[in-house]
Amino acid sequence: MTEIRTPRLLLRRWTDDDLVPMAEINADPEVMRWIGDGSVRDLEQTAEDIERWEEEWDEEGFGLFAVELLGSGELIGFAGLSVPGFLPDLRHEVEVGWRLGRPFWGQGYASEAAHAALEFALQDRGLDRVVSITHISNRASENVMRKLGMTPERETEHPDFGVPLRVYAIDLSEYQG
């Protein structure tokens, strides 16, 4: 079982106990504001998400980790790697992404988890390049991307929802660890 420990977090595979807390995170309109068309997700949709994330682990050898606080074991969201299949021109890339519950914003958890996932991609999984995609107005996510050493590469639109997106990228040669 793949696990990564950081000073404050445990990144691990998903368990049945993660469904309800992740569904609560997905049901928060502020959390989902920058995801897709901004729609919240219910318990059933979250169960489908987790199942898809676990399938990606089996198929690709990487995926989205459940992220929990080391001290309490509380699930605070996810961070990890996925193939951004929703953007046809990036379906051959690997994206680092994250989603945390609102009580955990502004404490450096997203940067800590995303850094661990990026290191996993470039050092453990041997990827040469990783991208990250965000809504063009999501300054908090862009700040995390810059902290990771990623640079803006281009702008595009979500093909289904028409929202403006910015693509960041980092190559292994640029990664500082």
Q: Is the pLDDT of residue 73 over 60?
A: yes
pLDDT at 58: 93
Quote the pLDDT of residue 177.
66
Q: What is the mean pLDDT of residues 78-86?
A: 95
Pick the closest to residue 173 from 111, 104, 122, 116 (CA basis). Answer: 122
* Averaged pLDDT, 136-163: 95
Give residue 2's pLDDT. 84
Query: Which ranges constitute the DSSP H helices of the chain?
Result: 19-26, 29-32, 43-60, 109-119, 139-147
Q: Structure pTM?
A: 0.94
Note whether 132 and 96 are within 8 A (CB). Answer: yes
Question: Which strands form 75-82's sheet, in the order they lie side by side?
Answer: 4-5, 9-12, 64-69, 75-82, 95-100, 129-135, 164-171, 151-157
Convert the pLDDT of each residue in 9-59 to its tens digit.
999 999 999 999 999 999 999 999 999 999 999 999 999 999 999 999 999
Average pLDDT over residues 100-107: 97
Rounded to the nearest integer, the mean pLDDT of the chain is: 95
